[in-house]
Amino acid sequence: MLTTLRRIVLEFSQEAELQNALERMVSSVKKAMKTDCCSIYLADYHQQHFLLMASDGLAKTSQGQTCIGFSEGLVGLVGQREEPLNIADAQQHQDFIHAPEVEEEDFNAFLGTPIIHQRKVLGILAIQQKESRHFTENDEAFLVTLSAQLAGALANAEIKNLLNQQEEHNQGVKQLHGIAGAPGIALGQIFVCQPQADLAAVSLKKSNDRPKQLLRFEQAVEKTRLEFNALSSKLSETIDDDSLAIFDVYKQLLEHANLGQEVAAKIAQGWRADSALRLVIEHYISQFEAIEDSYFRERASDIRDLGTRLLINLQQQAQEEQLLPNEFILLAQDVSAAMVAQYQHQGLLGIISLSGSNNSHAAILARSLGLPAIMGVNAIVLSQLHQQQAILDGYSGELFIKPDETLIQEYQYLLSQEKALTDKVMAVAHLPCITQDGRAIEVLLNAGLSAGFEHNAQLGALGIGLYRTEIPFMNRHCFPSEQEQTKLYRKVLQVFPKHSVTMRTLDVGGDKSLPYFPINEENPFLGWRGIRITLDHPEIFLVQVRAMLRANQGLNNLEIMLPMISGVEEVDESIRLINQAFAELKAELTTAITTELMSASNADGHLSLQQAQLKAQAVSAQLVRPKVGIMLEVPSVIFQMEALAKRVDFFSVGSNDLTQYLLAVDRNNSQVANLYDAFHPAVLTALNSLAQQSAQYLTPISLCGELAAQPAGAILLLAMGYDKISMNGHNVPRIKWVIRHITFTQAETILAKVLTLTTAKQVHSYLNEQLEALGLGVFIHAGG
């Protein structure tokens, strides 16, 4: 029966039209289970009833017409109880209702089971038999299993069908959901961008003229390189140069990576240029898609986009002249950073990508440009949305198709509020972040996934609270040298010469495998990652620390932060290695400078060896050992704070991972993502405990995570006693505005009440009420 079950689910998923899929499915189930009737009812939550959508056994005329209330009949009872109902003589049951139009008088036995997706009843699947009998346990098990497997497919199929349905009882507005990729709101017409070339459609063929094929490929590479340079140059007129690092990924793939060599090797084996390109690109895509971590997995999108652009130029296709509206929302199957750059000067209001996440380069670039974005809007057909009017809500990830006038007016009001709010907060972004009764908290930047600190002077941040150092390790095919790392870190430290820049040591491993350092684990989030991998490979750790120390020479604004600490042994070993790197580097600098001075003085004899050594020591004194702190993100540290405080200079809470570990929720898993909530009472209690303990042990504490970027979260962290909070640049001036418009006493009162609440829902409701009462209600929607 397992084979039959899989076949039914597969056939349902592959059917383009929902109605056809339902009709085919009930017939297949009836045949497989050898019953007299099989029917499916779908839930309509607007009308509070189940609608008979398809049946093999009931009257055809009743399909799409017969409605059964959520609290009526056996079908309603199945939905209410959310469990199977197996009745030998249904017509004698007290909840049975007679519906003459369905013509079920001859049926007695009834077995119904709910179809539930993410705790919501989508419909009821029922089978009926003329013979009065209880269906067997095997029958019940098969139907329950089928319903469970159909749930996800049905949820997607309903979304696909949403734009085509003639909903007599429903409003005209269609609402779709995705991942909030970049904050903001856009109202306008959707423009669908279809790919001009398809690698998957390339036939794998060979050619005898290898030199010609190689020349074709080299010309395509050169043309593609020029296109990327042009896009990067145009984009540099709008945003800070550092944000253009995204295009370095494409350039490295074209110029420094093995991609070109691998394509050339395939051509040398006799493949046509386009066939060779397809083989190599698909291999790269499969490698990246196999990586667990969402940020690294998103690099498959970059590879795919690069391959498509190379193929277009390889096939010498002319760029089609596109008639764009004056203003539009861009929609594509996979929006790339290059596409955002291509259209952002042509009236682009926002982007919608059917695939991808908020870690995609398109989303990162959209945030830099201030363009709202929604990623991962699954199960819709592109052609259905072309030229449709839409509202894109980049805060919530909601997409409204064909919005009515009321909804349009509501979002136009929100847009006007957002603009007025932005003008207000930016006007005072340079002012200190201090409450009305004199309590200060520093607001810093999270940086590193892109440049991360674009336009920092205007944002008003007091330094960088978290600089992720993974970038120089990620876009390569080997570990970067000490010199390469030093150059990059120096550039970052110089952005805030008078403020601290906290650099996190390499945080990869397990769920963030580097292409040249693969790690395969069954449970990567609990595996070999962060400090665990760098302590196991001190040669990697020491080189990185030395690069940081060199970059810090003469600036002295570096702070080093250790990720994924779970115990004191890791801290002790890390500090030993940092001290070793510092001592080695200091000795090397002293020797090098002494040698240099002596060589220079030998020409005129003015400097003795002792004098040269003293001068060298004075210069090397500019090499200062930085403060060392740890990230508090593994729950075990909550119970080791005293011992840890004796070893480090500061703490920084990684609220994203701490929330994930405390709640045992993978925030990248759509099945359980709704359970991930930093406002969960357990998380807030843990954060408060960490702040209290850090104060007790006189150790500064900060927080870098999504919680800090939310107005209500910032207020709670202020009240808990956090010294610093770190976030993306977009939210810095907003959070400063919020803090400047409350008192510390008000924040303490809010925190005291929140810590008595027992559910995340209660916390959110109370905090929204308080923001409204404080006159900060406008930040509820704009808090993302």
* Rounded-to-integer distance, Cα 301 and Cα 356, Å: 8
Does residue 268 contact residue 208 with C-beta atoms inside 8 Å? no
Helix (H) or strand (E) run with residue 41 in it: strand 37-44
533: amino acid identity, one letter? I
Does residue 106 contact residue 131 with C-beta atoms inside 8 Å? no
* Rounded-to-integer distance, Cα 114 and Cα 659, Å: 32
Which residue pairs from 516-519 have beta carbons closer than 8 angstroms and sit at least 24 positions apart in sequence? 516/476, 516/477, 516/478, 516/479, 517/479
Whether 477 is catalytic is no
Locate 303 and state its tokens.
Answer: 């590879």
* H helical segments located in 290-404: 294-297, 299-314, 337-343, 361-369, 382-385
Strand partners, 442: 724
Whether 37 is catalytic is no
From 601, 582, 600, 578, select the one nearest 590 (Cα to Cα). 582
Identify the residue whose tokens are 């925190």: 751
Of the candidates 37, 38, 193, 361, the residue annotated as catalytic is 361
Helix (H) or strand (E) run with residue 446 in it: strand 442-447
Does residue 247 contact residue 339 with C-beta atoms inside 8 Å? no
Of the candidates 37, 38, 193, 704, the residue annotated as catalytic is 704
Identify the residue whose tokens are 């397809």: 278
Question: What's the number of CA atoms in the CB half-sphere (13 Å) around residue 683?
Answer: 28
* Rounded-to-integer distance, Cα 385 and Cα 31, Å: 37
Does residue 457 contact residue 736 with C-beta atoms inside 8 Å? no
* Rounded-to-integer distance, Cα 100 and Cα 47, Å: 21
From 340, 404, 462, 533, select the one nearest 729 (Cα to Cα). 462
R_g over Cα of the chain: 31
**CA distances in angstroms from 182 to 33, 70, 286, 735, listed in the order given:** 49, 38, 27, 17
Catalytic residues, by residue number, are 361, 704
